[in-house]
Structure 1
């Protein structure tokens, strides 16, 4: 087992050379594993490194602690935006494996909350394992922001009506792990605290198979929906720049709802 990730960094990486399974852990539990610019850069670099590391044949991505898998971009991250409806500077755009041309199989092990930008990672995983305490929601509309990339990613995994409800209901409603399993977002539901172990078992099985066949299968699966997905993602920057309220208004809305009350779980 080898490990990387300096103390205080936002990402912890371990590689089990016996099983061929790497674990990427978002390691900011005090921030509910929200992603800042440094962590985003670390994620992109990790996926690119995995492309060339023959010791890695499957990857599990998870979050540290019990409260959250990931809560998207850190709200304290300042990302100036170009004044154009045709482009957007999205710091999370390249945090997933497919965005970095990594086609080794990826399993997301979800614990606690998964919301907003977490769907960039979940959306580019092959499948999701979640413990029964996990919840999923998309806060964008509540804070005057367009859910574009997140909704598009989830539309590849869930029935249209379920995606639309999650995206439009914002912070007012959270999807339970059980409901996520029933609608196909989650492929395996585990007891509390067992999602990572279940994901590791599945990853080890996949990693034990011939890697050429596994990666070819991953590419085949994604090719079945890649054209529609690519076309939809191409529209996302324009929809976001045209539909988002000004950043100062977003901050007001976020501050007004800090505390997380008032939602229901279904």
Structure 2
């Protein structure tokens, strides 16, 4: 399944690692289903009181869905609905209200934002980079931008989505815009996230989960309304799969980091 779960019962902290480093931790359909199972399972594990989610290898947190797998998802003909395998990869989509901290090293792009958008806060290593390549490949960035619009100023989300693969946001710039709460030396994000999670896990769990639920209630209505528009925007705006593939194959590797 390429997902690794470790649980330190003494601290009450679990670490969920996307363990597909050779593929930049791109998500297979199996991994997408597995993440949902992991989050739902944590609801019944009382000794798990805080969670860290990260990616293996240091080169990427996650680069979204594996394109080879994405082509195996049949889609309904209606423009008002879509079968998106990433919709339920986050903790909140699985009714988990235990705090989740994301530890980001290397690239975080595209579908990674489904996960990052449902974490309580992000800690990033100095070399982390955030970008959204959808428009470059003829795809609508809908779900991703909705998630990031809850965390970043409108203009920053708009620039990231519209610039596509031509521009990346550095960890420092992500910190300046509020996407990231702490920047560590490269390779230090996981340790910092574990430390923060251990502190949170040491507090009374009822108070912690109630606070998480209260925080998310402040944005639920707007988020749900925005996400409701996403399916038909994607189906109406995406290029056909063969044209997307052509753009992906012809992509250039140059980009600017700011």
Under TM normalisation by the shorter chain, which class is it? over 0.9
Matching residue of 1:25: 17
Between the aligned partners of 1:81 and 1:256, the Cα distance in structure 2 is 25
Normalized against structure 2, the TM-score is what?
Answer: 0.98
Is residue 217 of structure 1 aligned with residue 193 of structure 2? no
Unaligned runs of at least 5 residues, structure 2: none
Give a deviation string over 1:200-236, Cα, whole Å, max 9, x none. Answer: 0000000000000000000000001111001000110
Is residue 112 of structure 1 aligned with residue 111 of structure 2? no
Between the aligned partners of 1:160 and 1:245, the Cα distance in structure 2 is 25
**Equivalent in 188, 197, 201 of residue 195 of structure 2:** 201
Matching residue of 2:28: 36
**Equivalent in 91, 95, 99 of residue 97 of structure 1:** 91
Q: How does 1:145-224 map to 2 (within 5 A)?
A: 145-224=139-218
Q: CA RMSD in A?
A: 0.6
Between the aligned partners of 1:263 and 1:192, the Cα distance in structure 2 is 20
**Equivalent in 230, 234, 239 of residue 233 of structure 2:** 239
Give a deviation string over 1:91-116, Cα, whole Å, max 9, x none. Answer: 10000000000000000000000000
**Equivalent in 76, 79, 86 of residue 85 of structure 1:** 79
Tell me which stretches of 4 or more aligned residues in structure 1 moved more than 2 Å: none
Unaligned runs of at least 5 residues, structure 1: 1-8
Between the aligned partners of 1:66 and 1:146, the Cα distance in structure 2 is 28
**Equivalent in 25, 48, 65 of residue 57 of structure 2:** 65
Q: What secondary structure sits across from 1:25 in the alignment?
A: strand
| 1:80 CA displacement | 2.0
Aligned residues: 256
Give a deviation string over 1:81-135, Cα, whole Å, max 9, x none. Answer: 1111011010100000000000000000000000000000000000000001000
Between the aligned partners of 1:26 and 1:231, the Cα distance in structure 2 is 30
Give a deviation string over 1:53-83, Cα, whole Å, max 9, x none. Answer: 0010000000000110000000111222111
